[in-house]
Copies of this chain bind each other. A is one copy, B any other.
């Protein structure tokens, strides 16, 4: 049933989304979403992309949002569909990605019958969303959608629960896009407090994160470091780090607490710019959770929803003026860029270190790297530091299975840029069917699987948590070698051309070819 406009709720909803520039919908629909699906043909501005698993849809929407700064939509089927998408929504929440989730539900009048697929969608949605609403009338759904987009655009997940009858009924009209709230300016006294710390002569460290680790924020931070001697670090898992030759190099805080501690040691003032105060990723017996050194004062310059890059620029101007007025004027430098430089191409049997060097040697300009390489990728940071400018997307929330979906979304967002997914074998298996979407959409994604045939990070953690020497039963749960996963066969099954590399030369040849050809490729890098 449609209104005088000729539109049902689904049509008005999709038009409202596209009117607010939500133009891609990563989809895994079911029966309750069939009117939404049918409505796609009446709104050609919306691109529906099919995913074979919901975690691919949500992870792709995350990748799209990280690269465009605008939300994509993820279309999911009832509670179980949302559940399958939650792990990557968790990562998106930690990344502060703008993302609109549309979760179809039973018709309003059907809920009370407790049909087999009935479940508590609201509880699931609430666990990851900054904004949640259940549309209850077709006449309201467009306005609800406009609010969802506005909320999501501030850097959160907005979940719209869409009952089937609200979707199929009318009358409904599209709603105009709502203004998007800009990040709040940081109050002047907060900036002057930070400046005071920087002027104290005591050791200062600025921890950068969120939107600050793009060129503008990094350059402002680099000016401050140049003027004051403050140390710079990037949060451990940035959503999107701009890096490479010419960009200010900012090392990442280490994942392992015992490696992070020396990076932070001696700091008297820790200034947070878009980052949270550093904490251990996990707890370990007898180890502290907070990584803030004793006696260190923590200053939050800019938190979530605040204009971190603007605050850093204002702070840079302030402390640069100091320097100009003093004898240090001559020492003051503009933002210092990372010198260009690449490792040489190694040869011989492949190791994790050599794989990193190959990637550093060949990483193309403008690449987008989706990094879920875990233990195998420990050498990637230094190997790629001087490569041409590129974006580095990391596992923000620690929920593995992000990398292949994220790469899909980044490739849809930036069709003219090469996307490289660096994947641990164990992590790849959570959302392996994302490769099919790479193939389906002809996405220019090159996937490198670091195949060490184990949950290597857990083998390391088993030692670190002090769980004692592992016996056979424990080791059995960390081993991926029986049977060995054959990623070239998996890729073939999903329509992606694939090769296997056991030497550094084979990896380089495979990577060169994959980067030269359009469309998706996979290389299984077999590690010891």
Give A contacts to B, CB under 8 Å: 1, 27, 29-32, 34-35, 37-38, 40-41, 44, 46, 48, 50, 52-53, 55, 79-81, 83-84, 86-87, 90, 94, 106-107, 109-110, 113-117, 119-120, 123-124, 126-128, 164-165, 168, 237, 276, 279-283, 285, 289-290, 396-399, 401, 426, 429-430, 432-433, 436, 439-440, 457-458, 461-462, 465-468, 470-474, 476-480, 482-490, 492-495
Copies in the complex: 2
Other than A34-B458, A41-B473, give 20 A-B pairs with Cβ distance below 8 A: A30-B458, A37-B462, A37-B474, A37-B477, A41-B471, A41-B472, A52-B429, A84-B84, A94-B116, A109-B289, A110-B282, A115-B279, A116-B237, A116-B281, A124-B127, A165-B283, A485-B495, A487-B493, A489-B489, A490-B490
Task: Tell me which of B34, B81, B113, B494 contacts A483 (CB under 8 A).
Answer: B494
Nearest chain B CB to A128 CB, angstrom units: 8
Contact status B87-A477, CB under 8 Å: no
**Once the chains bind, are A115 and B285 in contact (CB under 8 Å)?**
no
A488: chain B residues at CB < 8 Å are 493
Q: Are A165 and B285 in contact (CB under 8 A)?
A: yes
- Contacting pair A282 B473 (CB below 8 A): no
Tell me the bound Cα distance from A96 to B87 in angstroms.
26
Max count, chain B CB within 10 A of own CB: residue among A1, A80, A432: A80
Q: Is the CB of A80 within 8 A of B41?
A: no
Determine if B477 and A110 form an interchain contact, defined as CB atoms under 8 angstroms apart: no
Q: Are B83 and A279 in contact (CB under 8 A)?
A: no
Given contacts A116-B397, A285-B165, A477-B27, contact A467 B426 (CB under 8 A): no
Chain B residues contacting A40 (CB-CB under 8 Å) are 471, 473-474, 477
In the complex, the answer to whether A461 meets B430 with C-beta atoms within 8 Å is no
Closest residue of chain B to A457, judged by CB? Answer: B31
The residue that A436 contacts in the complex, of B1, B283, B483, with Cβ under 8 A, is: B483
Question: Which partner residue on chain B sits nearest A55 by CB separation?
Answer: B84
Residue on B with the closest CB to A490?
B493
Q: Would you call B31 and A114 a contact (CB within 8 A)?
A: no
Q: Is the CB of B35 within 8 A of A440?
A: no
Nearest-CB residue, chain B, relative to A127: B120
* Residues of chain B lying within 8 A (CB to CB) of residue A436: 429, 483, 485
